[in-house]
Amino acid sequence: MSLDGRRRGHLALICAIAAAMMFGYVLVEPRTVQVLADGRAIEVQTRHSNDAAVLSAAGIDVNDGDRITALRGDDDDVLRVDRAREVMLDVDGQRFRVRTHAQTVEQVLDEAGVALGTRDSVWQGDALVSMTTPLDPPAGTASMLRDDLVAIAPHEIRNLRVERARVVTLVESGRELRSSTSRPTVGQALREAGIVLGPGDRVTPDIDAPVAADARIEIAHAVAVTIALPEQDKSLFTFARTVGELLAEADVTLGEGAVAVPDLDTPVTAGLSVHIVVLSASNEIEREFIESDTVYLTDDSLGPGETRTVAGNDGAIVRRYAVSYANGEEAGRELIEEYYDPEPVDTVIYYPPQRDAAADAPGDCDTVLNVYATYYTPASAGRPPSDPNYGRTATGVLVTYGVVAVDPTVIPLGTRMFIPGYGHAIAADTGGAVKGYIIDLGYPDGVAVDWRPRWLDICIFA
């Protein structure tokens, strides 16, 4: 067969196939297809069985990575187009596009074959994101409820940037440490390394400076101190080496009489408390009143019932102190001088000594009287020592040896007598309990009384 004959045969065959296809297409029953794509729901009447042809009929373009899901129903069919996300990756100086259905940052990087080191980081714009950070839901999806088709806006392109870790040297308070970081600034790199900055700390370079490869970052921590001023306390963080430098930094000036405790050469350490103390001094005089006493002494020249008084006087003791003050409050005192002004002098009352009764006993008496003899002293007479009449008898003499209280109706005042075991005496006092044949023998204060009250015979002289 000639070449023209073969060509005519091929043409006839093609025409026959086309006619058969056209005939078959005409015979296919048309169907309704719901196309869900790009936030829209499009209804298409078509005889095509090919999904790509249906989408083309609906005016929907399909790109690399898009997913087409066919859902066959009793009434009509649904074609759902899930658009792939577009992610722009900046990695190691290269920028490339990825179309993906990944749900997280980690899945995107795995699909792109990007591996991360220990301190590498991933950024979206200026925000640091974690590997589990989700991407946005796929664009163009919609609910499958026919009466509630919810369109979702097209998905925007995500830009992810991988920052590789750079080796840095951290020097904290003289201690050197090699580390790595992918953070863009010094401050972020320090936080990543767990270094906490406090008030007044110094960082070189500045915390806002970018981190370069092989950077050396020095951190010096300020110490917290307190300056206790008379009017208030001041807390600050400092690098001062001595207390003197600290006060200069805090603009604290020591005025007249003011000192720093501890002193200005003391090294500054964490937690140090410096007290500013204003010192002053004065002399103070104290005067203490001293009341004089009354003492009793014997005088052999005195007869029974006689007394002799040498008056004394009250005095005062004067003390002079050197007093020091710190911030207006007394801090100490030292006794400089002590003297009497005037010196106290005791009042002395002299009385006759107690005589030996046997030696002084008279040979005969005018009258012998049986009496009950008790004893008393100025302290037991009922008046307080502050009473001007303390120890004073009814006749004006003081109570002492040889003075006897009597009942004047039995023994008249002024009567001389001799009491065995006591001695010569004179009736010179009275008393509320001294009635009838009762007498009270006088004793001065401050002596041991050995008299035992009893009945006895006494000698009365005319």
What are the pLDDT digits (tens) for 172-189? 988 999 989 989 999 999
Parts of the chain belonging to CATH 2.40.40.10: 355-460
Considering the chain, tell me which residue range(s) the CATH 2.20.230.10 domain(s) occupy.
282-348
DSSP state of 194: T
Confidence tier at 436 by pLDDT (50, 70, 90): very high
Q: In the predicted model, is pLDDT for residue 197 greater than 70?
A: yes
Task: Tell me which of 19-33, 166-180, 427-441 is least confident.
Answer: 19-33
Is 355-460 a domain of CATH 3.40.190.10? no
Residues 282-348: name the CATH superfamily.
Answer: Resuscitation-promoting factor rpfb. (2.20.230.10)
Mean of the pLDDT values across residues 132-140? 66
Identify the weakest region by mean pLDDT among 74-83, 111-120, 253-262, 327-336. Answer: 74-83
Of 3.40.640.10, 3.40.50.150, 3.10.20.90, 1.10.1060.10, the CATH number of 166-220 is 3.10.20.90
Q: What is the mean pLDDT of residues 208-221?
A: 91
End-to-end CA distance of the chain: 207
Local confidence band at 245 (pLDDT 50, 70, 90 cut-offs) = very high
- CATH class of the domain whose range is 85-163: alpha beta
Q: What is the model's pLDDT at position 373?
A: 96
Q: What percentage of the chain reaches a pLDDT higher than 90?
A: 41
Region of poorest pLDDT, from 12-26, 152-166, 258-272? 12-26
Whether 199 and 225 have beta carbons less than 8 Å apart is answered as no
CB burial string 175-210: b at 16+ within 10 A, e below: eeeebbbbbbbbbbbbebbebeeeeebebeeebeee
Task: Write down the mean pLDDT value for the chain.
Answer: 83
Is the pLDDT score of 153 beyond 70? Answer: no
Q: CATH 3.10.20.30: which residues of the chain?
A: 85-163
pLDDT tens readout for residues 351-409? 776 655 444 556 678 889 999 999 999 999 888 988 989 989 999 999 998 999 999 99
Could you give the residue range(s) of every CATH 3.10.20.90 domain in the chain? 166-220
β-pairing, 127-129 vs 223-228, is: unpaired
Q: Is the pLDDT of residue 126 over 50?
A: yes
Task: Report the candidate in 426, 417, 413, 425 with the shortest Cα–Cα distance to residue 354.
Answer: 425
Reported confidence tier of residue 323, pLDDT bands at 50, 70, 90: very high
